Amino acid sequence: MKSKNDLNHTLFEIGQVFIKKEGDYENLKFAVDRYKQLMYDLLGLDLEDERNRENLSTETGVAIGPTWAAMCLDDITRTQKFVKGIFEAVEELLSKRKDSRPIHILYAGTGPYATLILPVLASYSEKEVKVTLVEINPDSFDHVIHVFKKLGFEGYLRDTLQVDATKYQFSKEIEIDIVISETMQRALDTECQVPIYLNLQHQFGDDILFIPQQVVLSFGQSQPSSSFDSTPLFEYESLSSVFTLNNNTKRDFLNEEYSIDKESQFKKVSKNFSSQKFSDVVLPVILTEIQVFKNNWIKTNESGLTIPKIVSLDLKGLSDFTLEFHYEISDNPHLNISISQ
């Protein structure tokens, strides 16, 4: 077994690969494989165990089980861009801070590994960065505490909470600088990203730096690439953005009390489309783009989180039409789309 110093150094080196301006794919893949091996050596999490594969259903979305949360590490672009964004956000806040108070990061939905934060912690001192870990799944929570102990990272911890981040009310005294949460799937389907964002933004205010800074959903079309030998096989075009999760989202949220529950609603948004040519091969899609931090964007199809979602609406032969979009928070959150009559 490697010593704590060796482990920390490996995490530091992995972080250095992730923050490079233009990481080449081979290096990134190597870094992710090294990261996976390190986590396996630390925790020995059995990814095949049925218990680790059980998701937890809540009234505002699904919290994925430890196996699936651990496997998010494999999404190379996602992991790299989030870690890079977090590094840059920490760096920016440290350079602006006027006192010696550490930057306090709230990590909502850590999974068993706290994947997005470990290379960052390995690069800063406990005087520079503190973290509060929040995880709803009791097994993932136990695992992540174990990881921090094994790495000797307890000194970075401000608090550890096994709670639902869509509902938990933090003490008024707590000062948070950055919130991290990657609790999403493409098209903001199924998981709790939106209600977590709303709950935390309501408590910590508009100035809180949330990572990702924005998630933009747009309605668009997918069609086969025009050239035969081209990769990728499909081309995607955005026709109109229809829902954005950022500091302004709360304006469209109809529950002024901000109690996030399954009755929570957003305003309906109507959009007119003209001269469209949907067909058997030109299909309606929801496209997802994520602004992790500043210039770090995860663009359409670059990650599992931004794979286009085919919409099951029959728009074939319709040239001019109006669609209504409505993001629903429920036990299965998603963007509703209907044709306006």
Ligand X SMILES: C[S@@+](CC[C@H](N)C(=O)[O-])C[C@H]1O[C@@H](n2cnc3c(N)ncnc32)[C@H](O)[C@@H]1O
Q: Select the residue interacting with ligand X from 17, 136, 188, 329 (CB under 6 A).
A: 136
User: Does residue 116 belong to the site contacting ligand X (CB under 6 A)?
Assistant: yes
Q: How far is the CB of 209 from ligand X (least distance, A)?
A: 17
Say how far apart CA 311 and CA 41 lie, in whole Å.
Answer: 42
One-character DSSP codes across 168-210: PPPPTT---SEEE-----GGG-SSSHHHHHHHHHHHH-TTSEE
- Long-range contacts made by residues 255-258, C-beta under 8 angstroms, separation at least 24? 258/198, 258/199, 258/202
Two tokens, residue 178 = 């950055």
The count of residues interacting with ligand X (CB under 6 A) is: 23
Does 283 bind ligand X (CB under 6 A)? Our answer is: no
Q: Is residue 139 a contact point for ligand X (CB under 6 A)?
A: no
Q: Does 212 bind ligand X (CB under 6 A)?
A: no
For ligand X, which stretch binds (CB under 6 A), given 23-31, 109-117, 170-178, 317-325?
109-117
Residue 325 beta carbon to ligand X: minimum distance, rounded to whole angstroms: 24
Determine the Cα–Cα distance for residues 265 and 271; give it in Å rounded to an integer: 19
Do 134 and 107 contact (CB within 8 A), yes or no?
yes
User: Under the criterion CB under 6 A, does residue 284 sit at the interface with ligand X?
Assistant: no
177 binds ligand X (CB under 6 A): no
State the amino acid at position 130 in one-letter form: K
Q: Which of 85, 109, 119, 284 binds ligand X (CB under 6 A)?
A: 109
Interface pick for ligand X out of 8, 123, 183, 264 (rule CB under 6 A): 183
- Min dist. Cβ of residue 22 to ligand X (A): 23
Determine which residue in the list 196, 285, 290, 335 makes contact with ligand X, applying CB under 6 A: 196
Asked if 303 touches ligand X (CB under 6 A), the answer is no
Q: Which residues contact 122 (CB under 8 A, 6 or more apart)?
A: 8, 9, 11, 12, 15
**Is 10 or 166 the residue whose CB approaches ligand X more closely?**
166
Contact predicate 114/105, CB 8 Å: no
Q: Using alpha carbons, select from 90, 167, 77, 95 the residue that is nearest to residue 123.
A: 90
| Two structure tokens written together for 240 | 């109109």
To the nearest whole angstrom, how small is the minimum distance from the Cβ of residue 40 to ligand X?
15
Residues 34-93, interacting with ligand X (CB under 6 A) = 63-64, 69, 72-73
What are phi and psi for residue 132, nearest 5 degrees?
-110, 125
- The residues binding ligand X (CB under 6 A) are 63-64, 69, 72-73, 108-111, 115-116, 134-137, 140, 164-166, 182-183, 192, 196
